[in-house]
Chains A and B, each alone.
Chain A
């Protein structure tokens, strides 16, 4: 089943809209909330993973756009620069999703963007600015 990870920016007047419920009920999608920060009268931010048929995902995205929700693909969100990375491993213990991977034989770090949930915990701990948020 196709899956996609999206970064949603919800305008303040839409925070009361039951977005996830509609994605599930009306668009037949599986919604996994990876991160969310929503409070009344403020723009909300969510990182979600949508699973469903391709048409359903597209329909869900159209629905979100109709609610003025800004929809961005997560893969673009956090990027790893292989050139900047010194493989010091400082990021390994803070990455909660296993996106930053350390091969314990070679002690080399790699990044699996598929597993990244965009929590950004790696950003401040990287002294070499190898982890970047791409807007």
Chain B
């Protein structure tokens, strides 16, 4: 018997909802089959925790006396975008301090940036604001320097135009002698190591591969607070090649998410310094999947051994936009610590924390069990395979 989200919410309210995480459901489906599992289980919680470069926060600082219309502004020396209304600013996670040497001394350390400012704010620490203005009749003040902290701001909204990538590459370096420094970590030459970045069987979109339940308005766990999916993420690519189980074999769907920074917890929002690459923000994301029918029960029972990722060369192929895979491996193999590339045993390492993904799925489960979190009915679903939507490369038209 198919269920509705409304019925599941009634069960949550009555304290009768059966909630398990995306790892626990695997054994349940294996033991009882999809029909029985769909009947017994109401919600499966998913989670992921990893660097999401496409992150930032909109802040409204409140008006000073006299008032000031920021034309340029900085938080702890990091450039913020002030091209909005007077005291609205946007801080991007990958933004660097004005005087950061970046990669001029290679490889750069990138020890502080926008993501760290966001982490400092969430941790309740004082942050130094500096803003300048050209001055107007209504906003006469031309400069402001002040300590600010999160709770004193009017609004602080975290936004991720792209989060929760449905599957990702396994990065290797095929160069003969050059160490490379990438957003996928430090890669040794001659494919001496391989880095991956997905929570695999716990990852939200790998448990709803065809976007049957996750849509616009889906309530989620974001950075330790409750947030929402507001759109498909940028580069959303439902047309990626898929396995028989519907799971894409390469990066595919993405989510755009939003949440109240003031409610978040620094445990799930961490500034990341990727040597030689830059700054990023690691974010905890968890999505509940309502088990509406048997088909969805089958999707959430996906295991690491059923999900494959493509091995991609980041020394030449990736930077030059040459598509191609050196082979595919399962997440079970990746998590074992070694994979085989051309008959050679290569050690693997993750950039996405499975342990913290599991913790997030557990946290979300607890919220639902203790009636602190109810499922929302999506206002619209994400574009699926039938949309024909693809992620296109840049269409360059050189100007002579």
- Residues of A bordering B, CB below 8 Å: 86-94, 102, 104, 106-109, 124-125, 127-129
Contacts and interface: CB of A to CB of B under 8 A. Distances in A.
A81 to B, nearest CB: 12
B350 A88 contact: yes
A124 to B, nearest CB: 4
Choose among A93, A94, A106, A125 the residue with the greatest number of B CB atoms under 10 Å from its CB.
A93
A111 to B, nearest CB: 15
Nearest to B352: A88
B335 A106 contact: no
18 contacts: A86-B270, A86-B282, A86-B356, A87-B354, A87-B356, A88-B350, A89-B354, A90-B185, A90-B195, A90-B349, A104-B335, A104-B336, A107-B355, A125-B185, A125-B275, A125-B349, A127-B185, A129-B273
A127 B280 CA distance: 9
B270 A93 contact: no
A50 B194 CA distance: 35
Nearest to B107: A124
B274 interface: yes
The DSSP consensus for interface residues of chain A is loop
The DSSP consensus for interface residues of chain B is strand
Interface residues on B, range: 20 to 34
A87 B185 contact: no
Contacts of B335: 104, 107
A104 B304 CA distance: 13
Choose among B274, B280, B336, B355 the residue with the greatest number of A CB atoms under 10 Å from its CB.
B355
Given A104-B336, A127-B272, A129-B111, A93 B353 contact: no
B94 to A, nearest CB: 13
B349 A89 contact: yes
Contact of A102 (B193, B271, B275, B337): B337
Contacts of B351: 88, 90, 127
A40 to B, nearest CB: 27
A124 B275 contact: yes
Contacts of A125: 185-186, 275, 349
Nearest to B276: A124
B358 interface: yes
Contacts of A94: 186, 193, 349
B358 A107 contact: yes
A91 B351 CA distance: 9
Given A89-B350, A125-B186, A125-B349, 18 more contacts: A87-B353, A88-B50, A89-B353, A90-B195, A90-B349, A90-B351, A91-B349, A93-B337, A94-B193, A94-B349, A104-B335, A107-B355, A107-B358, A124-B107, A124-B186, A127-B185, A127-B272, A129-B111
